Amino acid sequence: MSDRIFTTSDFDFALPPELIAQHPAPERSGSRLLDGSGSMPVDRAFRDLPALLRKGDLLVFNDTQVVKARLFGAKPSGGKLELLIERVLADGSVAAHMKVSKKPAVDARLRMAGGFEAELLGRWPDADGALFQLRLSGDPYELMAAHGHVPLPPYIERPRSGDIAHAGTPEDESRYQTVFARHPGAVAAPTAALHFDEALLAALDAHGVQRAFVTLHVGAGTFQPVKSESIAEHVMHHERYHLPPETLAAIEACRARGGRVVAVGTTSVRTLESWAQTGAASGDTGIFITPGFRFQVVDALVTNFHLPRSTLMMLVSAFAGHGRVMALYRHAVARRYRFFSYGDAMWLTRA
């Protein structure tokens, strides 16, 4: 383990804008897969994944479901606003980001597109003032399903639809969601899992690869770059997670038979390693994985390509080695891989 002290600039890289994928591949498993497990990178197709796995390995997927968390409306004065619901709280109210020219007063009733209201209760204290707490005039999940919009990442561009900029399309509603999504609550997709379709899952089953599920409701903080040069100064966002008993049993069985625990995506890594650190199978996690972190559960990782200077770049560098990951990213840029949520993927083993 290196004693090197990393700064945020160590996780920066130059990315031509045209390599940011604006649309998914025609088929889910039709993306490319960069095999970074050996001494030299190998360019593969994502459908080659079963050949990289062994009978008895355990794939751990995040089965969160992306909700239509972008809502539009107006203040009592008529000024337009946008809400991005980060989570539905235990009392039925919501915690949300608010994009507005001037913050409305507490107790203001906001008129939302779709004919419902949102009462502003104030700042949500659990997010250090970054989120607002509101009460909608109906069930939040039903209102989002009926009147919300897919919360696409900021780097995916879509044409304006009426008064709504950056609106998702029917393609996004289908493809910015995994085929096994079942627990609503995420505002961003677990993107490595977007590559899996029924045909690939069947091929993995035939290969003797087991699968299990965790739930981590991905928050908007996943897209935030680390702004301080000192990594230690970064305040990590929190996300809700859950490991069901059958997944804990599957991990134990995988260890007993000598298989590898393979995390599909960084959200699965965060969930598994949070459980390993705390012993809690459910809760909120603000785990910040940087080089020097001691992994206790995950042996291999399927992951997409991440934003420069992001906490996810730090996580994959902690997992596979900083020098190795940066070299793989240079290779991916040179070979014109597609980046970020709708982009291609990497296969990594632990350093």
Q: Give the CATH number, domain containing residue 309.
A: 3.40.1780.10
53 domain residue, yes or no: yes
**Two tokens, residue 10:** 């160590």
pLDDT per 10-residue tile (average), the chain, 351 residues = 85 97 97 97 98 98 97 95 95 96 95 97 84 97 96 88 69 96 97 98 98 96 89 93 98 98 98 98 97 98 97 98 98 98 98 92
160 domain residue, yes or no: no
Domain extent for 137: 70-148
205 domain residue, yes or no: yes
Quote the pLDDT of residue 234: 93
156 domain residue, yes or no: no
Q: For 142, list phi and psi in degrees, rounded to 5.
A: -65, -40
Instruction: Report the domain count for the chain.
Output: 2
Tell me the three state secondary structure of residue 26.
coil
Q: For 219, list phi and psi in degrees, rounded to 5.
A: -100, 170
Quote the pLDDT of residue 215: 98
Integer Cα distance of 178 and 47 in angstroms: 16
Q: What is the DSSP string of 167-221?
A: ---HHHHHHSS-TT--EEEESS--GGGGG--HHHHHHHHHTT-EEEEEEE---GG
Integer Cα distance of 97 and 95 in angstroms: 7
Examine the domain organization and report whether 104 and 187 are in the same domain.
no
Examine the domain organization and report whether 80 and 112 are in the same domain.
yes
Quote the pLDDT of residue 315: 98
Q: Give the CATH number, domain containing residue 93.
A: 2.40.10
Integer Cα distance of 320 and 15 in angstroms: 21
101 domain residue, yes or no: yes
Q: 210-216 and 261-264 as β-strands: parallel, antiparallel, unpaired?
A: unpaired
Q: CA dist 152 to 22, 131, 300, 308, 346, Å? A: 10, 19, 28, 18, 22
Please name the residue that has the structure tokens 């059958």. 246
Examine the domain organization and report whether 123 and 246 are in the same domain.
no
Examine the domain organization and report whether 195 and 138 are in the same domain.
no
Examine the domain organization and report whether 59 and 197 are in the same domain.
yes
> 244: number of CA atoms within 13 Å, CB side?
13
Quote the pLDDT of residue 224: 80
Residue 23, number of CB atoms within 10 A of its CB: 13
Examine the domain organization and report whether 115 and 198 are in the same domain.
no
217 domain residue, yes or no: yes
Residue 40, number of CB atoms within 10 A of its CB: 8
Examine the domain organization and report whether 62 and 82 are in the same domain.
no
Quote the pLDDT of residue 166: 62
221 domain residue, yes or no: yes
**Residue-wise burial string across 268-300, b where 16 or more C-beta atoms lie within 10 A, e elsewhere:** bbbbbbbbeeeeebeeebebbbbbebebebbbb
Question: What global pTM score does this model have?
Answer: 0.95
Indicate the DSSP class of residue 309: T
137 domain residue, yes or no: yes
Q: For 269, list phi and psi in degrees, rounded to 5.
A: -60, -50
Residue 316: which region, alpha, beta or left (left: phi > 0; alpha: psi -120 to 50)?
Answer: alpha
CB 168 within 8 A of CB 158: yes
Quote the pLDDT of residue 165: 58
Single out the residue in 148, 182, 216 at which a domain terminates.
148
Indicate the DSSP class of residue 20: B
Examine the domain organization and report whether 131 and 197 are in the same domain.
no
Integer Cα distance of 197 and 44 in angstroms: 17
Examine the domain organization and report whether 131 and 33 are in the same domain.
no
Q: Is 50 exposed, middle or buried (0-12, 13-18, 19+ CB in 10 A)?
A: middle
CB 132 within 8 A of CB 96: yes
Quote the pLDDT of residue 125: 86
Examine the domain organization and report whether 61 and 100 are in the same domain.
no
Examine the domain organization and report whether 227 and 317 are in the same domain.
yes
Examine the domain organization and report whether 199 and 303 are in the same domain.
yes
Tell me the three state secondary structure of residue 113.
coil
Q: Is the dihedral of CA 149, 150, 152, 156 positive or negative?
A: negative
